[in-house]
Structure 1
Amino acid sequence: MKGHDLLNDVLPDEALIHILSYLDVPSDRGSCSLVCKRWWQLESETRHSIRIGASGNPDACVTAVVRRFTGLRDVSFDERFGFSLIQNGDATSRRGRKRRRGTDELSPLLTESLWSSLSDSGLMLLGQGCPRLEKLTLVWCSAISSTGFKSLAENCCGLKNLELQGCYVGDDGLKAIGQFCKLEDLNLRFCDGVTDLGLMAIATGCAKSLKALIISVCPRVTDATLAAVGKNCSLLERLTLDSEGFKSDGVQAVARGCPRLKYLRMLCVNVEDEALDSVGRYCRSLETLALHSFQKFDKGFLAIGHGCKQLTSLTLSDCYFLTDTTLAAIASGCTELSSLEINGCHNISTSGVRAVGRSCRKLTEVVLKYCQKIGDDGLSEIGRGCKLLQALILVDCSAIGDSSIRSIAGGCPGLKRLHIRRCYKIGDKAIVAVGQHCERLTDLSMRFCDRVGDDGLAAIGAGCPELKHLNVSGCHRVGDAGISAIAKGCPELIHLDVSVCQSVGDEGLAALAGGCRSLREIILSHCRSITDAGLGFLVASCTKLEACHMVYCPYVTAAGVATVVTGCLSIKKVLVEKWKVTPRTRRRAASILTELCMDL
């Protein structure tokens, strides 16, 4: 009935709040808040998270935010980026700009061009205005000191998650946090002012609550902190260490005192074999282990294989002295392993991977990067033994060829993701096998694989109807025939990269326009056969296109750029040489081209 408000008269607050909870896009929630005063009030009270970038007056911004949103529990300040929009809490919509109380307060702050940093005063205001705060993230907020953290800790005793990156907070601030808050998750990155004293206070004050700890590039933190964590924090489950200041004694203390540890990631060049030995002995619940740049170990891996029976994810990066024997020891003991990544471990060869294939039958993901000694026999064993494999990523593995990929395709019909980069022995025979056996494939990348051509793509088009992502960048043998086969058989394709494919031209784009109406991103850079006509075919049918890269396409002119910009209502990103953008095109699409248009 005209003039009668059916929604507000019938629906109670609880029902409207439940409906608003289904809106994940910030702009949608902001638009709903402008419908009426009641919706504005409900949205203000039920908004729990907000992200804020750099602004001209961040302290005034905090005042407006806490006044507008009274129930905030998750607040993030990231001063690496400009404050063009309050994400997850914008008070204005893109289409309707109706003014409301609260919107008027925030709008001048959104357009401020000058930049300054959040201060202690702003942090104090945040603590006073958000007493129910549970999670706080501060990134490169260099003006904050311990004074602000003391006030925050006193007002926000329910704080559980604290992330500081590039902040100069000192020990007194961390001591206050440890005294008043029961932290569960602490993340410190590039915090030069933090020393062992502050973190020892956290370990003591949050002994019964701390479950996750990240210490990365904090040069004044040493093994004394880890000793305090091992002594007090028996509930710790996740630990990440990235510093030269940590040695084996500290890691041993944590291993002995934190038996519930499930996740351990270390980039510590001074940690040696005895640390891993302690982890294997005491951390029987370990599920994820990631080691980077470890140089001295041998027996430690034997202990990991013997003691960590629940290990499901293993990452070994730049561990130059890791051998096939130690990898086999882990494989034989950790049979629950589902994810394996070996990156730059130059002594790992075919026999080590063969042992993994024989023992770890539950593998679902294998990543091999810069492993020159791993040959076909090792990967073929993965294909024979690991029937549950869903993802295989190969980078610069020069000894791997068609036979191993054919074994993977035949033995792992559930494969969904296959990435191959600069593996020059892999060609059409391997990709044809993938197309014949892996009908669930959704993501295929074959960057700079010179032996892959149209025959391989024809098989993929015929056998992989669920394909959504395809990258054949640098595959010179791929042409219009292969792209046409993909267009015919893969209607769900949303991302395509054919950059540096000289044989792909307008015929391929016309086929895509006919078969891949859901395409959202296409990369055509360095395609010398693409013309304005091909772009016209594409934009006429692919109405969901959001991004188009066409740098160094000599036959694409300013008219073609204008066609893309004006023909795609959903377009958000266009990458092209600056001289191909006319003043008229720039006026019509400044937000799309301003930052991405370059002189090349």
Structure 2
Amino acid sequence: MPFSKGLKPKNPLNKPTSWKDLWFKDKALKHVVFKMQLDSVTRGKAPPSDHKASTELEKKIALDSLRTDLTSFLSDELLLRIFSNLPDSQRNSNSLVCKRWLFLQGRLVHSVKLLDWNFLVSGRLLSRFPNLTDVDLAAACIDSPRNSGIVLTHKLLSVHLDSDFLPRGFVPEENLLPPALIDRGLRILAQGCPNLRKLVLFAATESALPSVAEECPTLQELELHHCADLSLRGISACKNLQILKLIGTVDGLYSSVVSDIGLTFLANGCKRLVKLELSGCEGSYDGIKAIGQCCDMLEELTLCDHRMDGGWMAALSFCENLKTLKLQSCKRIDPTPGPVEHLGSLPTLERLQLQRCQLRDQQSVMSLFLVCEAVRELDFQDCWGLGNEMFSFASHCRRVKFLSLEGCSLLTTDGLESVILSWKELRRLRVGSCNHIKDSEVTPALSSLFSVLKELKWSPDSRSLLSSGLAGTGVGKKGSRIFKRA
């Protein structure tokens, strides 16, 4: 397009302002940079003969600086300190400035989730991010079409699917990477990340884990998907492991077997475990007993969708230092817990949490509360079958200080009152989305308890109006300062 004479054409590409332009907007900074350059040029040389020569030299340096990167005068350590204080949203844009900034930004990244295994095997992952401490390789271990428009998202991982996926599972065996390729990638990762602290892996082999344990002595957290008994033989090399999550079977996604054999390998090898989660794992009394006897430091145990044989609950008493017990998405607790006198108890237990569990069997629910009779905190979330009769077994836990009920629609006000009035140490209460608990059914005895609680969050249904339901009970006067409206 022609331009009128004497007029400068506008930049049609709207080119963004360069870094050197931004730096030279500040006159003080401009003077400092000139001074640095002048000192670097004239260092070791005779001073200019007159003021005119000095001025000419400054002009020459000013022109040269317009064609150079001013950040080159800053050390890597100083730039890293600057980059570390920038928000995460600017990291991607900063890495596009130049190769040096790309490398420096990579040194600040400590956690990645890998999607392409070739990126690890080729060495580009470690050259790009040399200071990794948290690596998730689960999705990369699955050979799935990356250009597929079908994505299956699970709480554990996301995978791309073909339109002709097999009905026996969304992640069949033939879609997993060859074991030799997984071993090779893990050796490369272990040699390049000696400070690795957390690793998430899919279909680990027996020979791969020892190499990681040998090269990464600081490894403390491990998550194994599609785990089997034999692969756990290599886990004994991870002497400093403190947090372990084993996922054996996920319905509809993949299937593998973790039985008492694997749990025994685990118990004898990882004696410093503090937190253990078993998801979709099989086993029985023997496996849980081995963990309790060997893992003296175990403080938190989580069982998710377990397939344990009957009688496993009696082995919990061997976990003498257990403080937290979590049951999640369990279709059953223990169908045959055995005689009450053989159950034992957990004297150090502080918290019992049940999420999305089916509590329909009286014997198993009663046995659970007997084992956990010393518990201080009870947390129920969306548990099916938790009615008045099932909840009445919680009266065995006489030291409860905190109770949380969320989504327990079968429990009524009478069932709640009959239990919590027997808890002399109760100080905190949360009730939410329990539609059969009504404000109008709150008795004076229950309202008197509310008035002395340190924390009360009461919203059993969307129409709950506790203040009107407790009119004349004195709760508004005595407990007004500690009452919290949900």
Task: Give TM-score scaled by structure 2 length.
Answer: 0.62
Q: What SS is found at the alignment partner of 1:265?
A: strand
CA contact (8 A) 2:439 2:465 kept: no
CA contact (8 A) 2:431 2:457 kept: yes
Q: Which residue of the partner structure matches residue 155 of structure 1?
A: 215
CA contact (8 A) 2:120 2:188 kept: no
- The question of 1:372 aligning with 2:372 is answered no
Q: What SS is found at the alignment partner of 1:215?
A: strand
Distance 1:306 1:124, change over 3 A: closer
How many residues align? The count is: 369
Q: Which residue of the partner structure matches residue 194 of structure 2?
A: 131
Which of 277, 287, 295 does residue 233 from structure 1 map onto?
A: 295
Q: What runs of 5+ residues in structure 2 fail to find an aligned partner? A: 1-28, 31-64, 148-161, 163-170, 250-255
CA contact (8 A) 1:281 1:304 kept: yes
Deviations 1:552-591 (A, max 9, x none): xxxxxxxxxxxxxxxxxxxxxxxxxxxxxxxxxxxxxxxx
Q: What SS is found at the alignment partner of 2:245?
A: strand
Deviations 1:178-205 (A, max 9, x none): 1244221111123414332232122111
CA contact (8 A) 1:231 1:253 kept: no
Which of 125, 145, 151 does residue 65 from structure 1 map onto?
A: 125
- The question of 1:326 aligning with 2:389 is answered no
Q: CA deviation at 1:20?
A: 3.3
- The question of 1:52 aligning with 2:119 is answered no
Q: CA deviation at 1:232?
A: 0.5
Q: CA deviation at 1:240?
A: 1.2
Q: Which residue of the partner structure matches residue 188 of structure 1?
A: 246
Deviations 1:182-235 (A, max 9, x none): 22111112341433223212211111x10111112124x333221110110111
Q: What SS is found at the alignment partner of 2:291?
A: helix
Deviations 1:33-90 (A, max 9, x none): 334444433332332111123x4xx233453212211111101134389869xxxxxx
Deviations 1:319-341 (A, max 9, x none): 446445434554x531x205333
CA contact (8 A) 2:221 2:243 kept: yes
Q: What SS is found at the alignment partner of 1:264?
A: strand
Q: Which residue of the partner structure matches residue 237 of structure 2?
A: 179
Distance 1:185 1:324, change over 3 A: closer
Q: Aligned partner of 1:307: which letter?
A: A
Distance 1:283 1:305, change over 3 A: closer
Which of 412, 416, 420 does residue 349 from structure 1 map onto?
A: 412
- The question of 1:283 aligning with 2:347 is answered yes
Q: Which residue of the partner structure matches residue 254 of structure 1?
A: 316
CA contact (8 A) 2:413 2:441 kept: yes
Q: Which residue of the partner structure matches residue 29 of structure 1?
A: 91
Distance 1:180 1:213, change over 3 A: closer
Q: Which residue of the partner structure matches residue 273 of structure 2?
A: 210
CA contact (8 A) 1:171 1:193 kept: yes
Question: 5 Å matches for 1:264-303?
Answer: 264-265=326-327, 267=330, 268-270=332-334, 281-290=345-354, 292-294=357-359, 295-297=361-363, 300=367, 303=370
Q: What runs of 5+ residues in structure 1 fail to find an aligned partner? A: 85-112, 419-600
Q: CA deviation at 1:8?
A: 5.8
Distance 1:146 1:59, change over 3 A: farther
Q: CA deviation at 1:125?
A: 2.8
RMSD over equivalenced CA pairs, Å? 4.3
CA contact (8 A) 1:313 1:338 kept: yes
Question: 5 Å matches for 1:200-599?
Answer: 200-207=264-271, 209-219=272-282, 221-243=283-305, 245-247=307-309, 249-265=311-327, 267=330, 268-270=332-334, 281-290=345-354, 292-294=357-359, 295-297=361-363, 300=367, 303=370, 307-308=374-375, 310-311=376-377, 313-315=379-381, 317-320=383-386, 322-323=389-390, 325-330=392-397, 332-334=398-400, 336-337=401-402, 339-341=404-406, 343-344=408-409, 346=410, 348-355=411-418, 359=423, 362-363=427-428, 365-369=430-434, 372=436, 376-378=440-442, 381=446, 384-385=450-451, 388-389=454-455, 391-392=457-458, 394=460, 402=465, 407=470, 418=486
CA contact (8 A) 1:389 1:412 kept: no
Q: What SS is found at the alignment partner of 2:428?
A: coil
Task: Give TM-score scaled by structure 1 length.
Answer: 0.51
Q: CA deviation at 1:355?
A: 4.9
Deviations 1:78-106 (A, max 9, x none): 4389869xxxxxxxxxxxxxxxxxxxxxx
CA contact (8 A) 2:431 2:459 kept: yes
Q: Which residue of the partner structure matches residue 510 of structure 1?
A: none
Q: What SS is found at the alignment partner of 1:194?
A: coil
Q: Return the alpha-carbon distance in structure 2 between the equivalents of residues 276 and 349 of structure 1.
A: 28
Q: CA deviation at 1:241?
A: 1.6
Q: What SS is found at the alignment partner of 2:316?
A: helix
Distance 1:187 1:305, change over 3 A: closer
Q: What SS is found at the alignment partner of 2:223?
A: strand
Distance 1:181 1:324, change over 3 A: closer
Q: CA deviation at 1:274?
A: 6.4
Counting aligned pairs with the same residue, the percent is: 23
Q: Which residue of the partner structure matches residue 489 of structure 1?
A: none
- The question of 1:41 aligning with 2:94 is answered no
Q: Return the alpha-carbon distance in structure 2 between the equivalents of residues 405 and 134 of structure 1.
A: 54
Q: What SS is found at the alignment partner of 2:263?
A: helix
CA contact (8 A) 2:439 2:469 kept: no
Q: Return the alpha-carbon distance in structure 2 between the equivalents of residues 253 and 283 of structure 1.
A: 14
